[in-house]
Amino acid sequence: MRHFVPRSLTMAELQVEPQLLNGGDLMEEREDPRAPGTVKKKRRKKKRNKITTPAGTNEAEGDGEARGVADVTKQLEQQTVEDKEREEDGEEVKGQTDPPSIPICELYPSGDFPKGEECEYPPSKDGRSAAWRTTSERESGALDMANEEMWSDFREAAEAHRHVRTYVRSWIKPGMTMIDICEKLEDCSRRLIKENGLKAGLAFPTGCSINHCAAHYTPNAGDPTVLRYDDVCKIDFGTHINGRIIDCAFTVTFNPKYDRLLEAVRDATNTGIKFAGIDVRLCDVGETIQEVMESYEVEIDGKTYQVKPIRNLNGHSIGQYRIHSGKTVPIVKGGEATRMEEGEAYAIETFGSTGRGAVHDDMECSHYMKNFNVGHVPIRLPRAKHLLNVINENFSTLAFCRRWLDRLGESKYLMALKNLCDLGLIDPYPPLCDIKGSYTAQYEHTILLRPTYKEVVSRGDDY
């Protein structure tokens, strides 16, 4: 991405600039009159000349200093007009704003979004190299190009994720309520992904699980929880374009005593990414993750802990509009021998804990998701029918939370929601917690098993 850094103009430059702009006839002669949009651009250039040519350029007609101020004002007006016209013409915008507000699709109007980290596939267990994937027909990219539209959707969602999480790291701090954190993050995500019904938006509620709570916590309305200096907070949020989901998470701490815990989990996640690949057995990925995670010890408040992988939390394959599409990537040994396949997308995520290394349901439920495989089920309650229609229209099979129903103007829906859960149409996903007093951390990336390379599509400069 190109970054535009504004600089101050000297008085000499300001006086020359109008003359350069008035050379519009030269620019117009270079343009092909048959090209679409040429007439429109000619008109705009003439319009710009009218805007940028200062009235009374002779110094004898007024004070030079006052004229300089007027010139600066004209230059700023011109820049604003040109930026708006570039957006209308589909030209590349110079850079993201601070705070970020320009949708990713407008930053890259050509549709050529940044790729993630491209990695070679690991050699198989029998020692056979994976180099054959980059030779002959495969190297030509023919197989890769067949799915280029799908890869592009993932990349656009990933670029939005990177911008949002960089923004979040700039302001998240102790003393903020969890509701404020989640809503500020989600507002930014909606802007950058250019939310558009089920075509583009948030893939699931923002997880902000704290300390012994490892996953699936987001505050419901009225939740007074405040982020504290000694908390370990997992920020887990997703974006999607056309149902192509980016599932990516990181851990936020303020006290350096947790640094070693975060390092252990980050290393385990990167190890899982490194060993994942086409034809790799899922159980082998889990075994390597466990080996790395358990090699770490952390000292917190004078007590030493071996970092334990949370054995009943897993990575998973990702389908279109389906966050968990059937395959699980364990983070301990002994998992299934099912193999990863070409063209699949996976969320490689690991959780480390100073507790028992196992989680259970606890606290008030906030996450829900429509059952992907459920067929027609008769519903008696009118309010339950209405609520299901709202869910189908706004979320389909993507996960949602109670705050999002509130945002849509729904009220007094808890009985209807329970009815849909009892009928098996909606599945609840309550918070998952280890023992109280323990600390848990999480890191996660989305990877694409492309025919020639493995792409860590959500990789950024941060992790």
Per-residue pLDDT of the chain (463 residues; tens, 9 = 90+): 444 434 443 434 434 333 333 333 333 333 443 344 443 343 443 333 433 333 333 444 445 545 555 665 666 566 655 555 544 554 444 589 999 999 999 999 999 999 999 999 998 765 554 555 655 555 546 767 779 999 999 999 999 999 999 999 999 999 999 999 999 999 999 999 999 999 999 999 999 999 999 999 999 999 999 999 999 999 999 999 999 999 999 999 999 999 999 999 999 999 999 999 999 999 999 999 999 999 999 999 999 999 999 999 999 999 999 999 999 999 999 989 999 999 999 999 999 999 999 999 999 999 999 999 998 999 999 999 999 999 999 999 999 999 999 999 999 999 999 999 999 999 999 999 999 999 999 999 999 999 999 999 999 999 9
Annotated ligand binding at 324? The verdict is: yes
Indicate if 59 belongs to the active site: no
CA 395 to chain centre: 17
Q: Which of 186, 247, 284, 434 is catalytic?
A: 247
- Residue 77, marked binder: no
Query: Catalytic site residue 349?
Result: yes
Q: Is 367 annotated as a binding residue?
A: no
- Model pTM score: 0.79
How many residues appear in the chain? 463
- Burial class of residue 462, CB neighbours in 10 A (0-12, 13-18, 19+): exposed
434 is catalytic: no
* Annotation says 444 is catalytic: yes
Asked if residue 349 belongs to a known ligand binding site, the reply is yes
Residues 236, 267, 410, 455: which is the catalytic one? 236
112 annotated binding-site participant: no
CA dihedral 43, 48, 54, 56 (to 10 degrees): 0
Q: Which residues of 340-374 are buried (b: 16+ CB within 10 A; e: fewer)?
A: beeebbbbbbbbbbbbebbbeebeebbbbbbeeee
The per-residue DSSP string of 273-317 comes to HHH--TT-BHHHHHHHHHHHHTT-EEEETTEEEE-EE-TT--EEE
Q: Which of 153, 284, 349, 410 is catalytic?
A: 349
Asked if residue 232 lies in contact with residue 253, where contact means CB atoms within 8 angstroms, the answer is yes
Asked whether residue 236 is marked as a ligand-binding residue, the answer is yes
Selected catalytic residue, list 324, 342, 386, 427: 324
3-state secondary structure of 459: coil
Task: Specify whether 360 is catalytic.
Answer: no
Q: Are 115 and 155 in contact (CB under 8 A)?
A: yes
Tens digit of each residue's pLDDT (9 = 90 or more) over 74-104: 665 666 555 555 445 544 445 899 999 999 9
Query: Both tokens of residue 280?
Result: 């790799």
Is 324 known to be catalytic? yes
